[in-house]
Amino acid sequence: MTERTCAACDCELDATAISVNLGGKTVEVCCEDCAEQLKEAHAAAKHGKED
């Protein structure tokens, strides 16, 4: 069995995992805090590329 881990903090995921869409890719995170962190990081990276 393959272990699934949070895309933000690397914690093991369970049935309560949250799917987040970032730039057309869906990743899974363990909690709403990690989802928000990934969204903010993605937005900052995208903004940085436009400058």
Give pLDDT tens digits for 6-41.
999 999 999 999 999 998 999 999 999 999 999 999
In this predicted model, which residue has the larger pLDDT, 39 or 46?
A: 39
Number of domains in the chain: 1
Backbone angles phi, psi at 43, to 5 degrees: -65, -40
**Could you give the angle at the alpha carbon of 43 between the alpha carbons of 23 and 20, nearest 5°?**
50
Residue 4 has a pLDDT of: 94
Q: Which domain holds residue 27?
A: 1-51
